[in-house]
Structure formats: structure tokens, C-alpha cells
Amino acid sequence: MKNIKLLWTIIILLLAFSGFLVNKFISGNVTPSEDGRTNVVLTKDERNLVLSEMRAFLVSVQGVSQAITENDMVKVAQLAHKAGMAAEENTPGSLLQKLPLGMKKLGFGTRNKFDEISTTAKTTKTTKDTTVLRKQLDTLMLNCIACHAIYRLPEPK
């Protein structure tokens, strides 16, 4: 009897703990922001890493856009690939944990869209019609706008 009670206690504790982990995974490390957005609370180093990735995003969008204008499909494919999922390789898991699920979705969604642009550029090497790529880049940038409208990264005190 005693053993069964102990077993149940362990089961309940494990369930509570896994519930806590799932909740953490979904909500991330957040607080409300005074400007109506959601603060994602990171350490100084984590924040610096995300912001440097952001500046790299802007460089990538400019580079891909210019390469589309110049009709240089090899360059489009290269730059877009660099900004795609390949860039996530070095993101620490401890940082990902702190991002709310919605932010992770928008972030990975943006990476995937860069990969799609890279694929399109590879398969449309010969065509002069860049409208498809332009549209893909337009849609990708809606992700930048959406995420910035919802989340901010407060400077650690």
C-alpha cells in the first residue's frame, strides 16, 4: 500500500513538472510591456545575439532584394540560403526556451521563407521574370513587421 502511495506521488509530481515545462515552452520568459507589446526577457548576451541576428536579417533582405533587381539568381540563392534555417545552427537551446511559441513560429517561419526564396532562385535560373521572387520577399517581410508589432526586448537592468 505504502509503495502505491509513493508511486502516485511520484506520478503526480512528474505530471506537474512536465506541465510546467510545456507551459514554459509555450509562454516563454515574458512580461507585459508599457507600449502594449510583450517583453521577452533575455540576458544581456542573449539580447545582443538576437539583435545582431536582426541586423543580419536587414542586411540579408537588402542583399536579396538587390540581387533580384540585378537578376543574379546565384547570388539570390546564396544570400537567401545563408539567412535560412542554416543560420539557426548556433542558436543556443537555452535562448530558444525563453522565446514564446508565437515568436519561435514567426522566427522559424522567416528562416523557412528565406529557404523557399533560395529554392525558387535555384529553379528559375534562366527566367527573367522576378515577380515570383519579389512576391516571396514581400511576404517574408510581413513576418518582420508582425513580430516587431508583438514583441520587444527590454534592456536588462
The residues binding ligand HEC (CB under 6 A) are: 51, 54-55, 57-58, 61, 103, 106-107, 110, 143-144, 147-148, 151-153
CA–CA separation, 37 and 153 (whole Å):
10
Measured between alpha carbons, how far is 138 from 61 in angstroms, rounded to an integer? 10
- Count of H-run helices and E-run strands, the chain: 6, 3
Residue 9 vs 138, nearer CB to ligand HEC: 138
| CB of 35 or CB of 129, closer to ligand HEC | 35
Closest CB 10 distance from ligand HEC, rounded Å: 38
Number of residues that make up the chain:
157
Q: Is the Cβ of residue 41 or residue 153 nearer to ligand HEC in the bound state?
A: 153
User: Is residue 41 within 8 Å of 157, Cβ to Cβ?
Assistant: no
Q: How far is the CB of 32 from ligand HEC (least distance, A)?
A: 14
Which 8-state DSSP code applies to residue 37? S
Q: Which position has the grid cell 509503495?
A: 3
Find the shortest distance in angstroms from Cβ 141 to ligand HEC.
Answer: 6
Give the nearest distance from C-beta 23 to ligand HEC in angstroms.
20
Pick the closer one to ligand HEC by CB: 102 or 119: 102
Closest CA to 57 of 139, 140, 117, 121: 140
